[in-house]
Structure formats: structure tokens, C-alpha cells
Structure 1
Amino acid sequence: MNLKAGLWQQQTLKLTMTQELSQAIALLQYSTQELTEFLENKALENPFITIGDVSSRKNNKNKGKAEKKNDWIEQIADQSFSLEDQLLSQLNFKKYSKFQLSTIKDLLKYLDESGYFRGDTEEIAQKRNISKDLVDECLTIIQGLEPVGVGARNLQECLLLQLEWEFPDDELAQKIIKDHFLLFAEKKWRMLAKELQVSIKEIQDIFDRVQQLNPKPCAEFSTDHTHYIVPDAIIEVTSGGISVRLWEASTPKINFNEPYYKQFSTSGDHHVGKFLQEKLQDFQWIMKSIEQRKETLAKVITKIAEKQVEFFLKGSQYLNPMTMKELALELDVHESTISRAVREKFVQTPFGTIPLKTFFSSTIQTVYDESTSSSQVKNVISNLIEKENKLRPYSDQEIVEMLKTKEGIVVSRRTVAKYRDQLGIPSSSKRKRY
């Protein structure tokens, strides 16, 4: 073995992660909102980058002012009351002392968005230097307000408050929720029926009654605003076939302030010139990265549309099996590029706006040497369970056999259980009716 020291030259090919490449990769995986935030931050960093058209913004601003003058009455009607305001409005202030009202107002601050009380009565009593009994008394006053269930400390108490209000004569239901809640929730009804000396049918009827109650009584008062999903592309079915177009209206347009740039470029200062060159290059990199992002998205979404024609023509139950690796091979790109391209991206289809990741599913073999997707298998499982006899629901193993004999789909019992859990469908023992 030759271990002599020496100097050699060796030529190798190596991919270097440049700033431009790193930025292009980052922009590809950005969602529309993340891309907007990125561009807004860049506009703050780079004085020569402007977002949107200034004149149109002024027009929109003036238009907004005009609209505000005309819709002030509608704005009054639009003002929504908070949960705290809604509850306080139900109190008879003459009935309670100032001390009680002060404590009630303090307790209301501990209600979460669903109406549950998340405070500690002992700590509140110590903090206010009052007795715990007084705090509990004030909490009971809150629990007597509407919506029924507000002020409950947990789900059990929330359901009990509603039962006492909605079904005051149903002593068995109240006893079950109060003293046997865990057994009831876990559907260990045989054990519960034996302990209470009642029939399973009676417990099942109570279960149906409890299902009508609201586990989140104050959710309607939540101040969270609705967040609308903006699609990155629109796929339509036309007489000429399936069309794909990127939806760019949601992404702000960036421009380079050429007059401002020229104003400084005549200074003759070396440092200013270097600064200008850096900022111009920064703008060019961003524009190139955005263009690459558009091209990659267009290629990926167009290829998805080509491979999922039946989905767009007939619906989600006709989703063909397709993996990111398969798509990457067809587009001659790395699998990670597909993963980044579909991350947090949405597409508007004839069946609603859905995430791009929806179109990727594992391949499952059938007895006919064909393949189907996991989404199709889930649809079949869901339909089988929906039509089953609830007095004798199908076990996971029975579903395995039915998938094989009726649909020609070969899956294991474990796979059926996993898909059932993903669909939010309980096991056969918990689906059973009496």
C-alpha cells in the first residue's frame, strides 16, 4: 500500500448552494401568504422595490373613504358583542351586590372561547382576599346564564348543566353523566347497565339524547374571523377539455423604482454604487425566483391534471393512485421539488378548493393486477360502514374480506383499522346499536 505524502490535482463536479438557489428553493415552498410576507419584508429592506401600483392604491383608498361615508349605519349593525358583554347583559344588577358583580366580572375573564371556566377558584379567592365559597357562588351564577353550559369546568359538568336544563326529569341521564361518565363515554354499556340495573337500550337512548347537547356552548361567540383559502391555481372542465391556469391575483406585484435608482447612480460615490448594485441584484434574484416558482407550479399542476382526468370529470371517488416520486420521474425533477411545490398550495376544482397534497396517495394492488388509491379504498370503507346493519356492525376483518370479494381490493386488517381511524369512524363495538 502506497502511503506517501504528496500533492495531486483532482477535478470533481460539485453543486454549490448559492444565495440565488437557496432563495429559489425557499420561494417554491412558500404558501401564498408566506410569499406575500416575504415580498413585503423585502420591500422594507430594499428601498428600490415597490409593491403594487401606487395610483391604484390611492384610488382604492379614496373609494374606501367614500364607502365609509355611506355605510355607517350598516357598520353599527355589524358590531358584534363579546361573550363577556352577552353574559353581563343577562344579569339583574339590582339583585347582586357590587362585590358579587365585581367577582363575576373577574371570573368571566377566565372563560375560554368555548365557554369553559379555566381558572382556579382557590387562587382567585386568595388573590381577591375573599372566601372560596363566595367565588363558587359567583361561578354558579354564571353557570345559570345562557347559553346553557357556560362556566362549566370540564365537558362532564358542561353536559350535566345542559341535561338539568333540557331534561330536568331525566334522573337516570343525570346520574350517568354525574357518577358514571367515564364508563358511559367509553361505551362500556353492558357493565354500566348491570351496575345501574337498567337495559342497554335505555343507556343507548340517553347516549342519543346527549349527542344533541353542545360540547362547546359558546363557540358562536368566538371573535375569530373566517380565514378564506386563496387558490394558487384554477382547474376547469371546458368543452375543449381540462384547462389549468395559475391564480396570481393574490400575490402582490413587485416593481423596481428606476427613477429613484438613477437619481443615486449619478452621485459618483463608490460605496453608493456598490450599494445600488447589490439592491439591483437582489431585485433581479427575487424576480427570477418568482418566475421559477411559477414555472414549476405550472408544470406540477398541469401534470396532476393530466394524470387525474377522471377526478375532475367525475369526483373524488375516482382519484387515481399517484405518488410524488412518480410525478418527479415524469417531470425529471427531484422528489423534494414536488414536495416543496405542493406544500400549503391549493387548487380550485369543480368540486371545491382542495390542497394539492390531496392528489397524492399510496398505491394499493387489486386481485385484477390493477391498482387503486388509498382515497378510493377509504371511500369504499366509508360506504360499507354507512350501509351496515347497526345491530351487527362489520368488524375490521369482515371489511377486509368484503373489500377482497366485492371490490377486488387486497388490504390487511391493520390497514383497514388505520383508514377507519383516519376517517374518524369508531370500532365495531362502539358503532353497535341495541
Structure 2
Amino acid sequence: MKASLNLRFSQNLALTPQLQQSIKLLQLSAIELEQELIEAAEQNPLIEYESATEAAAAEPIQQLSHRASSSTKNTTEWDDNDDKFAKVAVQETLLDHLLKQIRVMRLSTHEKALIGLLAGNLDHKGYLTIPVEELAHDYAQYMDPEDGSAVAQIERALAHLQHLHPSGVGARDLGECLKIQLENFPHQEQSDSVWMHAHQICVDYLELVGSRDWGRLKKILKCSDEQLDQVIRLIKSLNHNPACEFGADVDITLIPDVIVKNIKGKWQVSLNPEAMPKISIHEEYAKVIKESKGQEDIGGIQQKLQEARWLVKNVLQRSETILKVAKAIVDRQQNFFNHGEIAMRPLVLREIADTLGMHESTISRVTTQKYMATPSGCYEFKYFFGSQVSTDSGGSVSSTAIRALIKQLVEEENPQKPLSDTQIVDLLAAKSFVVARRTIAKYRESLRIPAVHLRRK
């Protein structure tokens, strides 16, 4: 993610221009890289650049939808007669909107970097569904040892994030999302009692609103029908999806960075030609400069030649790094590609970093805004990383797999007798998965599955 660049600091450390450029290019999406190279070519006549769209003659592959749902019946072969897949339209996320606000906050660079780190981990609705403890563990090496525990630093960063626009962003569940909005709500527009009752419901009794248990709510709040009606109207006026206003009007073209195919029973990863720009040094100019070596460097042309060489090298290195990381991910998620989400294994950035001999921050940059086209959908690299859930046997399973199991159980339930969260806990326990009821509720909400009383027919 973009803010991760500043997670480690040293007053004595000065990155070379080449390394700064390498880091910058690595964090860019394919679309952003294209724009960066267009600008570079405009400023440096020694750079020859042709967009990937014009240069590539990509092989035909199947048309896919962005983040299409996985199926246990995944296609294992690509049809070479299918239409070429090069780009897919997706909606703009709110990450850039948040980063703009973070950059102007009056905080230390380290604090702003941590807030940006959290912003990069928000889900499609603007919620932070990854537990704070897990984030503190995964990013412990980036913490300032003199600034308290890792958990405390993440908590403080989250508090700052939750004060940004849109209101409710960074919430860990629906109740907290609504509570944040209420606390940012202009009190003068509502009586103090209405606001206080709404706040109390969001913190402690939101499930009673879902079940429409008005009688119990009136008894708890000690209010009249009219007062309760005002409270409920206020709660319903709040936004349960903080990210909904982003991307409604602007479509961005997403270009997968790599293509994953099943060839003769083996999953193969290759770079997508549509995402690989064609950049080189203008040979005629370079030849003239070489012949004039030792003469006066008029207009800094020697420097421009060196800058062009750095850029070509760094673009190539970016492609190689993306391919290495993609191959490492696919190698570790074979079961996902063969059987779908239900077979996703736990995976953390550090595992890929250790395998490839790279820094974890490098893997973080590569897995953000980089996509792989697969037979079952187009996924951001970081989709394949997630927390783990323990099993009775002492093993672990990915939280993505648990979500898939929950979805499967709900799809197969009796509509007249839908499963409660507690019953889902018991069914998962029978499969040796130890999951708390609160966690089940959180995963269910992230899947947009209504509570049991709302599913009953």
C-alpha cells in the first residue's frame, strides 16, 4: 500500500534516486504506471515509450469479471477461442481519498504511515475486518518500540482513521460504524435524549432493531413510542456502507498484471502483455551521446541518458518482482485454484517475503493494486492473504475458507428453520473448526448475509 513506504525511518538514511524510483514504480497499478511513463517520456527525449495496449499482442483468454465469486467447480482450462481479456472496468476505491487526507494530517510521518497502512486494509465497504491484534502481529517490525505496544499503536492509528471522511470509515462492525457517524453528528439537529438513545442502541442493542423488538427497546430505554420512532429514524438515516459514494460516477480500467492458466494439470503464471509497457532508450540519440563522450554536457543530456537507463531497468525489475510474487502466491494456494475459496489456506506477507528473500514491505507494495486473471475471476494479489482460524487438531485454516463454509451452510439451510450464528458455530466445530460466535457474526455480515430472523421464510 502507498503509505507503507514510510514505515521505517532513520535520519541518517538517504535513499538513492534509483531506489526511490524503484520503490515508487513498484507500488503503482498498471494504469498508474502507464501515466508515469507517459510523463517521463514527455520530459526526457531519450525515452521511447509505447503503451502496453498498443504494443502488446496478447493471446486470447477468457473474459472475466472483477473479483468474480469463486466456485468449487472452477474451470481448469482456458478456451483459446474466447475473447481476449486485457482490461476490466472496476469502480474507484476510497483509498486515494483517504491518503489525501492522511498526507495533510498534523502527525509524525510514522503515525501517518500506520494510518495509511490501515486504510489499505479496509474492505469494499470501508470496514476494517482484520482484528487489531492480527495487524499488530503482522506489522510488528514497523512499530516504534518507544511508542508503546504494537496493539496500542494500531489502536491510535485506527482512531485517527475513524475521524476521516467518509464518516464511519474504519469501523470494525456495523454498530461501530453507526456510532462513529453519531459522534460526528451535529447534536443541535436532534434532542440530546434522542441522540443518547440512538448511541446506546448502536453500542449495545443493535440486534433488537434488526429483530424489530420495539417493546424490549422501549423498556430498556424507558422512552415513549414517539421518542423511539425518532431514535429509529435517526439510526436509519445513517450510512451502513461508508464507501458507497466512491466509484459510482467514475469507472477505472483495471488491467490484470498476470494471467493464471491451468496447463496440463499444472497452474502456470505469466505476465499479461497488456500490463507490460514497451519502454526503451532512443537508439539514435544514445548513439550521438556516446560519440560525443568527453565533450561538454550541453543541457544535461548525459544525465538524461542515465535517468532513461535507470527507468528502463526499474520497469523491468518491477515486472520481474510482480511475476515472482504471483508465482509464490499461486504455488501456496494450489487448493484454492483447484477447489475454490473453501480450500484457501492461511497466508501472511512474511511467508512470501522469506521465501523470495525480499523485505515484507516490498511484498506489501506488490500485493496492492496488482491483479491476477484466473479462470474463476480477477483478484487483487492481497486477496490471497488472510488471518487464520484454529482447528481441533492444532492446525489452521484461512478466514476466507471459513467465510466460504458459512456461505455454503446458509445456502443449504432450511428456509423455514434458518441457522443461527450459534448453530453455525456448532456445525463448524463438528468439522473441527474452532470459531467464536462473534466472529461468525462478523464474517456473516461481511458476506452480506442477514441475521437469522431476517432469513426465515
TM-score (norm 2): 0.52
Contact 1:51 1:252 in 2 (8 A): yes
Distance 2:307 2:395 in 1: 51
1:107 is aligned to: none
Distance 2:210 2:267 in 1: 49
Contact 1:364 1:371 in 2 (8 A): yes
Q: AA paired with 2:428?
A: L
Distance 1:258 1:241 in 2: 41
Distance 1:386 1:252 in 2: 44
Once the two structures are TM-superposed, the CA of residue 223 in structure 1 deviates from its matched residue by 11
More helix by share: 1
Q: AA paired with 2:17?
A: Q
2:254 is aligned to: 229
1:428 is aligned to: 452
1:275 aligns with 2:300: yes
1:368 aligns with 2:393: yes
1:35 is aligned to: 33
Aligned ranges 1:266-415 → 2 under 5 Å:
266=292, 270-272=296-298, 275-405=300-430, 407-415=431-439
1:84 is aligned to: none
Gaps of 5+ in 2: 1-11, 56-208, 216-246
Distance 2:293 2:401 in 1: 67
SS in 2 for 1:249: helix
Q: AA paired with 2:22?
A: A
Aligned CA distance change for structure 1 residues 422 and 187 (closer, same or farther; 3 Å)? closer
Contact 1:235 1:243 in 2 (8 A): yes
* Higher RCO (Cα < 8 Å, 6 or more apart): 2
Aligned CA distance change for structure 1 residues 356 and 276 (closer, same or farther; 3 Å)? same
Per-residue CA distance 1:183-230 (angstroms, 9 max, x = gap): xxx6665759xxxxxxxxxxxxxxxxxxxxxxxxxxxxx996865532
Aligned residues: 261
Distance 1:248 1:28 in 2: 17
Distance 2:412 2:366 in 1: 39
Contact 2:31 2:254 in 1 (8 A): no
Per-residue CA distance 1:155-203 (angstroms, 9 max, x = gap): xxxxxxxxxxxxxxxxxxxxxxxxxxxxxxx6665759xxxxxxxxxxx
Contact 1:24 1:289 in 2 (8 A): yes
Aligned CA distance change for structure 1 residues 275 and 299 (closer, same or farther; 3 Å)? same
1:417 is aligned to: 441
Distance 1:249 1:422 in 2: 33
**Match among 18, 21, 28 for residue 20 of structure 1:** 18
Distance 1:371 1:187 in 2: 33
Contact 1:52 1:255 in 2 (8 A): no
Distance 1:22 1:314 in 2: 41
Distance 1:423 1:277 in 2: 56
Once the two structures are TM-superposed, the CA of residue 34 in structure 1 deviates from its matched residue by 0.6
SS in 2 for 1:348: strand
Once the two structures are TM-superposed, the CA of residue 268 in structure 1 deviates from its matched residue by 8.4
Distance 2:24 2:324 in 1: 18
Contact 2:346 2:387 in 1 (8 A): yes
Distance 1:33 1:425 in 2: 34
Q: AA paired with 1:46?
A: N
Aligned CA distance change for structure 1 residues 223 and 307 (closer, same or farther; 3 Å)? closer
Aligned CA distance change for structure 1 residues 223 and 291 (closer, same or farther; 3 Å)? closer
RMSD: 3.0
Distance 1:30 1:403 in 2: 40
Gaps of 5+ in 1: 1-13, 58-185, 193-221
Distance 2:356 2:285 in 1: 42
Q: AA paired with 1:287?
A: V
Distance 2:258 2:419 in 1: 41
Once the two structures are TM-superposed, the CA of residue 341 in structure 1 deviates from its matched residue by 0.7
SS in 1 for 2:443: helix
Once the two structures are TM-superposed, the CA of residue 408 in structure 1 deviates from its matched residue by 0.9
Once the two structures are TM-superposed, the CA of residue 392 in structure 1 deviates from its matched residue by 3.7
Question: Larger C-alpha radius of gyration, 1 or 2?
Answer: 1
Once the two structures are TM-superposed, the CA of residue 432 in structure 1 deviates from its matched residue by 3.2
Distance 2:340 2:50 in 1: 38
Identity of matched residues, %: 36
Distance 1:342 1:26 in 2: 14
More divergent stretch after superposition (248-257 vs 30-39): 248-257
Per-residue CA distance 1:99-126 (angstroms, 9 max, x = gap): xxxxxxxxxxxxxxxxxxxxxxxxxxxx
